[in-house]
């Protein structure tokens, strides 16, 4: 006989790519980021993450740790972090110094999600790193070196990441393949999967992570957070119009022409090229669009199918007021979302 299921009210977080809409600049975009973070905190979101991207005209979060400080300084309780820092672009010591400083400024509120992708094209990656001689196979060693800098100083330790030494941030491994799932499991760290843009290996990655997870001082049980795109409005048609800005951004990116976030277009989905539609249906399969009831049903079905511990919500919406409203509507259905554990 099975035990009665344990029902847990479901946590939601925010993934903000700091979009720069057409007709605006980075100053306005970063003001919008901070404003959304303040609202997200008041609406009960758990985390507010920003992502490292480079050479993208429509994204203002390239200097990710700087934007995290901007957000954390404008809020008081919500956790703020990187989703993520692309570690191959940086020396582990530098990231330890940056995030140790963030924790010193905002104790107990900083998350550090780590990924191994460049977050840009190969030419820009070379400009960032000066060389591409390093291998992604070094990523596990770089992660462990970074984590080491947060440990208490050892006798004779000659290189210290001041002020990271002895401080605590929450480390996460990010991924869109089985590689990150295996590493997160081996290190006993929480795992965030980029299902909002690369869902192909979602279920396999979750299975690998949970099956191979080794408890650590960081985490006793596996913890999975999944990315989703959500566009919510009072009416489905309005929500689908809001999503058109993301669809156009993806099409431009896949054609090698990244640009600022363009205004929404009603009926854009119906006019898309069939090849673009097929690409978007695959890449953006973990997207939930509609009125609050439709969004709630979609998110609950996704939680049931994946047994995710947490969702992180992305919403590339052109109009700032509409973006605020979308996140507010998502927050309004949060208390009806549950994780049913047998």
List, in order of start, the domains of the chain with CATH numbers: 6-236+287-341 (3.20.20.30)
Entry pTM? 0.94
- Tens digit of pLDDT for each residue in 238-251? 999 999 999 999 99
- Tens digit of pLDDT for each residue in 167-226? 999 999 999 999 999 999 999 999 999 999 999 999 999 999 999 999 999 999 999 999
Work out the angle at residue 314's Cα, subtended by the Cα atoms of residues 23 and 127, and round it to the nearest 5 degrees.
65
Whether the pLDDT of residue 2 is over 60: the answer is no
- Tens digit of pLDDT for each residue in 296-314? 999 999 999 999 999 999 9
Residue 7: band (very low, low, confident or very high) from pLDDT cuts 50, 70, 90: low
Please state, for a pLDDT cut of 70, what percent of the chain lies above it: 92
Tokens 């110094």 label which residue?
97
- Tens digit of pLDDT for each residue in 110-153? 999 999 976 566 776 676 665 555 556 789 999 999 999 999 99
Check residue 1 and give its pLDDT.
Answer: 37
Q: For the residues of 65-97, what is the DSSP string, one character each?
A: HHHHHHHHHT-SSSEEEEEEEEGGGS-HHHHHH
Phi, psi of 225 (to 5 degrees): -115, 135
Q: What gap in Å lies between CA 67 and CA 51, rounded to an integer?
A: 10
Check residue 184 and give its pLDDT.
Answer: 98
DSSP-based three-state secondary structure for 44: coil
Q: What's the token pair of residue 304?
A: 């049931």
Whether the pLDDT of residue 76 is over 50: the answer is yes
DSSP-based three-state secondary structure for 7: strand
Check residue 281 and give its pLDDT.
Answer: 94
- Mean pLDDT, residues 263-279 taken together: 94
């Amino acid at each position: 006989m099975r035990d009665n299921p344990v029902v847990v009210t479901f946590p939601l977080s925010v993934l903000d790519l700091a979009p720069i809409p057409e007709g605006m600049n980075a100053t306005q975009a970063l003001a919008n980021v901070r404003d959304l973070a303040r609202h997200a905190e008041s609406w009960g979101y758990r985390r507010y993450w920003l992502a490292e991207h480079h050479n993208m005209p429509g994204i203002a979060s390239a200097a990710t740790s700087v934007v995290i400080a901007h957000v954390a300084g404008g809020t008081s309780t919500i956790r703020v972090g990187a989703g993520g820092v692309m570690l191959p672009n940086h020396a582990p010591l530098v990231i330890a110094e940056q995030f140790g400083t963030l924790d010193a400024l905002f104790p107990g509120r900083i998350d550090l999600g780590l990924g191994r992708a460049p977050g840009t094209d190969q030419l820009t990656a070379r400009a960032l790193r000066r060389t591409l001689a390093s291998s992604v196979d070094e990523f596990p060693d770089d992660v462990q070196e970074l984590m080491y800098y947060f440990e208490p100083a050892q006798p004779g330790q000659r290189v210290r990441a001041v002020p990271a030494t002895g401080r605590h941030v929450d480390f996460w491994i990010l991924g869109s393949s089985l590689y990150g799932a295996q590493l997160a499991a081996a290190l006993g760290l929480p795992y965030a999967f980029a299902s909002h843009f690369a869902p192909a290996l979602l279920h396999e990655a979750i299975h690998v992570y949970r099956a191979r997870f080794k408890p650590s001082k960081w985490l006793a049980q596996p913890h999975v957070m999944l990315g989703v795109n959500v566009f919510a409005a009072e009416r489905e048609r309005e929500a689908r119009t809001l999503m058109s800005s993301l669809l156009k951004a993806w099409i431009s990116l896949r054609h090698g022409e990244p640009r600022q976030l363009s205004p929404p277009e009603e009926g854009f989905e119906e006019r898309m090229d069939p090849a673009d539609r097929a690409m978007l249906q695959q890449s953006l399969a973990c997207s939930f669009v509609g009125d609050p009831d439709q969004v709630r049903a979609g998110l609950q079905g996704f939680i049931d199918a994946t047994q995710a511990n947490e969702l992180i919500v992305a919403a590339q919406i052109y109009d700032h007021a509409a973006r605020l409203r979308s996140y507010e509507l998502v927050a309004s259905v949060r208390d009806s979302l549950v994780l049913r554990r047998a």
